[in-house]
Amino acid sequence: MSAQTRLQVLREMMAEAFLALDAQGTIHELNHRAASLLGLPYGACEGMTPWAAQPMLAGTTLHERLLDALTTREPARFLSELPSGVWLELSVRPVGGEMWVLATDITRRQRAENEVARTEERFRQLGERFQVALESAQMAVWETNLVTGQVFRSEGHDRLYGYPQPLEEWTHEQFLASLHPDDRPEVEAQVAAIFHNDVLSYSSTFRTHWPDNTWHWLISRSRVIRDANGKVMVVRGAILDITALKETEQALQEAVRTRDDFLSVASHELRTPLTSLRLQIDLLRRMAEGKGQEPVSSEKVTARLDAADRQLKRLAALLDNLLDVSRIRTGKLDFELASGDLAPVVQDLVGRFADEAKQAGVVLDARVEGPAPCRFDKLRMEQVVSNLIANALRYGQGTPVHVALRQQDGQLRLTVRDGGPGVPATERERIFQRFAQVQGSARTGGLGLGLYIVRQILEAHGGHVWVEDTPGGGAAFVVTLPVEGA
């Protein structure tokens, strides 16, 4: 065989595609592998450029890079995907006056690499979504390898312990040091148990101390991985911040206690006027049946009827308060606002309480400076003033009660003052909550709803109410309302 024949046989035996191009890019020689990969007509494409012999190659990376190599006469290596989907790894080198091209089919390798890249991207996206899910749920995951000593923790782990940025390291000692003293013994016992018993999983609920001196509740669920001999190899788990859940739980427990206290108070308060009514009615029945010594028209009968009427009013007021609270909770407490003068309303209510104050031996006076122009619901404002005066009579312990109304700094200022024990500073906000009464005070009746309703009514009028000390002791409830036209 001649050297030329041997070279041709060698080219045909190659797994790679071979092209020899002249300086203008026309095909001088090629093997069958090149014709097959590039889709060229073997034996009929010499003297043609590859992209002329196979128009689908025009504009491809192969086309552009071969033109660059023909222009620069510099060696090159590059990858190119053909329109057929075949991936080639090409090596271009000038040889004499020709440009030799070797191409290897790397389609399977490229597809595998692409699949690996797609898989890595899916895992990256999954990891990001998982991280978002962990952060949204205020959760973190961790793993301790007891064989290698390596500790893994997710990005949000350290934030659950109050650190805005991840720490350089996290140790078991740091974890124990952050625990509440009351919770530490139980957690330490659970951790120690995994080395002495066949524990496969455990759950811990504990409080952790943050650098800002606040306490937060966490729950950790852990799984223990052992070797064939039962030796602990890996411990991994998830931590969840349950502070909000604990606060809700405590609020619910407090709500249940408040409900039970209210039911106890309500049953007592509602029973008292009913018992009195039953007694008055029984006495009146005995008089009507002639069993008593007094005629039906006597003053004693009238007194008993007055007593029964007072108890009915008290019962009606208690029920009205309960209905008002229900309306407030459902947003159905209606108001009929109209322009008017608040001064005569206050003066009239003070007059209505005159007899009750006299029977209690309390001096009740008023200093009402009119006019007091305001836009208000007359019935609701009567309810406000009545509640404040009734409270002063009830809690003032027989001291004088003073009611004052005047304009001050562009507002109407109503003050109801008594000389009783006053309201402690720590209680001055709480007493305006539902079912609240001053802690430690003697039982004086009521459901603990009056001041709550007062505040809700005044806020609906654009006003405010609060309690403050008075000179010489006692309490002063202050109401402010906007002056109409001010």
Residues 263-274 pLDDT 10s:
555 554 566 566
Three-state secondary-structure class, residue 335:
coil
pLDDT at 442: 44
Helix axes 450-460, 378-395, angle to 10 degrees: 150
DSSP label at 155?
T
CA distance 391 to 370: 24
Check if the beta carbon of residue 233 is closer than 8 Å to that of residue 226. yes
CA distances from 53 to 15, 36, 85, 90 (A): 22, 13, 18, 19
Q: By percentage, how much of the chain surpasses pLDDT 70?
A: 79
Six-digit token string for 116: 């690996």
Six-digit token string for 401: 């009660």
Amino acid at residue number 484? E
Among candidate residues 58, 52, 102, the one with its CA nearest the CA of residue 83: 58
pLDDT at 409: 86
Give 463: exposed, middle or buried? Use CB within 10 Å, 0-12, 13-18, 19+: buried
Total residues belonging to the chain: 486
Bridge-based pairing state of the strands 17-21 and 27-30: antiparallel
Among candidate residues 47, 50, 44, the one with its CA nearest the CA of residue 17: 50
pLDDT at 189: 92
CA distances from 236 to 134, 146, 166, 324, 401 (A): 15, 11, 19, 55, 69
Overall average pLDDT of the 452-476 stretch: 87
Overall average pLDDT of the 39-54 stretch: 89
Overall average pLDDT of the 345-353 stretch: 90
pLDDT at 139: 83
Assess whether pLDDT exceeds 70 at residue 132: no
CA distance 360 to 48: 122
Six-digit token string for 336: 């009929």
User: What is the band of 311 on the pLDDT scale with cuts at 50, 70, 90?
Assistant: low
Residue partners of 341: CB distance under 8 A and separation at least 6: 370, 371, 372, 373, 374
- What DSSP element (H or E) covers 341? strand 338-341
83-86, long-range: CB within 8 Å, 24+ apart, which pairs? 83/56, 83/57, 84/39, 84/56, 86/37
β-sheet bridge partners, residue 21: 27, 99
Amino acid at residue number 448? G
Six-digit token string for 184: 């530490």
The number of angstroms, rounded, from the C-alpha of 126 to the middle of its chain's C-alpha atoms is 25
The chain-wide mean pLDDT, for the chain, equals: 83
- What DSSP element (H or E) covers 479? strand 475-482
pLDDT at 154: 86
Six-digit token string for 445: 């009746």
Residue partners of 138: CB distance under 8 A and separation at least 6: 156, 160, 240, 241
pLDDT at 363: 92
Phi and psi at 3, nearest 5°, equal -60, -35
Largest CA distance in the chain: 155
pLDDT at 443: 44
CA distance 308 to 281: 8
Helix axes 243-288, 299-330, angle to 10 degrees: 160
CA distance 42 to 31: 8
pLDDT in tens, 146-169: 888 888 888 889 989 999 998 988
CA distances from 156 to 147, 187, 216, 225 (A): 25, 22, 15, 23
Which residue would you say has higher pLDDT here, 240 or 295? Answer: 240
**DSSP assignment string, 234-251:** EEEEEEEE-HHHHHHHHH
Assess whether pLDDT exceeds 90 at residue 406: yes
Overall average pLDDT of the 69-98 stretch: 92
The number of angstroms, rounded, from the C-alpha of 45 to the middle of its chain's C-alpha atoms is 73
Q: What is the CA radius of gyration of the chain?
A: 46
- What DSSP element (H or E) covers 21? strand 17-21
Assess whether pLDDT exceeds 80 at residue 49: yes
CA distance 218 to 354: 59
Check if the beta carbon of residue 47 is closer than 8 Å to that of residue 27. yes
pLDDT in tens, 105-125: 999 998 888 888 888 888 777
Check if the beta carbon of residue 374 is closer than 8 Å to that of residue 482. yes
SS (H, E, C) 50-101: HHHHCHHHCCCHHHHHHHHHHHHCCCEEEEEECCCCCEEEEEEEEECCEEEE
